[in-house]
Amino acid sequence: MKILLMILTLVLASLLASCSSKIEDYAGTTPALELDEFFRGELVAFGMVQDRSGRVLRRFKVDMVASWKDNQGILEENFVYDDGERQRRTWRLEKHADGRYTGTAGDVVIPAEGRTRGYALNWRYTLAVPVDGRVWNIDFNDWMYLLDEDRLINRAEMTKWGFNVGEVTLWIERKSDRNDSLIPQKSGVEISSSEREKLGTNTSRK
């Protein structure tokens, strides 16, 4: 009976995987995502880790710095979790002539490989994840969706032996001087820099 249940579970998992989204579904969509364009300079991300039932296990912030030379890129990630743990990962990325992207890092057991189509990227890799004093090799089915030139959403399904064990979701944003054009005030109202100058001029006249 246990063997039959295991077989049925594996069949169901394979059926669900076959029904999942394919990268070709996003061909022709805009804006087009290019990793070597989006991941440049300083970025910041906020995310969470959920178990397979959807319960949030951890929340975190990531400060990133990325640079490219020709088709080779380096992405530095510095994580700070809500329990105070800190983690660092350095990705070494490569853009290939056939449109593929690949990536390696110190805790990436099987390198990432995938493609972009339109505003989406899908790549897969295996990550060594420490859990309760042990290290598990977890498979990641990682998707990125570009919202505009400065923001994207990143969702990754985590599986072990073909079974879903959780999900990671991130909001990633490029840091830009344009984001400083609105200065938050104590009142909660945002006033643009030009309006601040006008207010200052009017005040000085009084």
| Domain extent at residue 64 | 25-176
Residue 93 buriedness (CB in 10 A; 0-12 / 13-18 / 19+): buried
Q: Which of 45, 62, 56 is nearest to 154 (CA)?
A: 45
Q: Which of 16, 75, 90, 71 is nearest to 41 (CA)?
A: 75
Q: How far is CA 122 from the centre of its chain?
A: 11
Q: How far is CA 109 from the centre of its chain?
A: 19
Q: Which of 3-17, 53-67, 69-83 has the lowest mean pLDDT?
A: 3-17
**Per residue in 33-54, is it b (16+ CB within 10 Å) or e — as a string?**
bebbebbeeebebebebeeeee
Establish if 10 belongs to a structural domain.
Answer: no
What is the distance between the alpha carbons of residues 89 and 128, in angstroms, rounded to a whole number?
A: 12
Partners of residue 134 on adjacent β-strands: 131
Establish if 3 belongs to a structural domain.
Answer: no
Query: Given pLDDT bands bounded at 50, 70 and 90, which one contains residue 99?
Result: confident
Rounded mean pLDDT, 173-192: 50
Rounded mean pLDDT, 62-90: 98
Establish if 99 belongs to a structural domain.
Answer: yes
What is the distance between the alpha carbons of residues 107 and 126, in angstroms, rounded to a whole number?
A: 9
Which two structure tokens, joined as six digits, stand for 91?
């990705």
CATH number of the domain to which 56 belongs: 2.40.128.20
Establish if 182 belongs to a structural domain.
Answer: no
Q: Which of 3-12, 24-33, 97-106 has the lowest mean pLDDT?
A: 3-12
For the stretch 110-169, pLDDT in tens is 999 999 999 999 999 999 999 889 999 999 999 999 999 999 999 999 999 999 999 999
Establish if 18 belongs to a structural domain.
Answer: no
* 22-25: Cβ within 8 A, 24+ apart: 23/114, 23/115, 23/116, 23/117, 23/120, 23/121, 23/122, 24/117, 25/117, 25/120
The winner for highest mean pLDDT among 2-6, 11-15, 17-21, 183-187 is 17-21
Establish if 161 belongs to a structural domain.
Answer: yes
Establish if 15 belongs to a structural domain.
Answer: no
Assess contact for 92 and 72: CB atoms under 8 A: yes
Assess contact for 165 and 51: CB atoms under 8 A: yes
Establish if 33 belongs to a structural domain.
Answer: yes
pTM for the model stands at 0.77
Q: How many domains does the chain contain in total?
A: 1
For the stretch 17-74, pLDDT in tens is 444 689 999 999 999 999 999 999 999 999 999 999 999 999 999 999 999 999 999 9
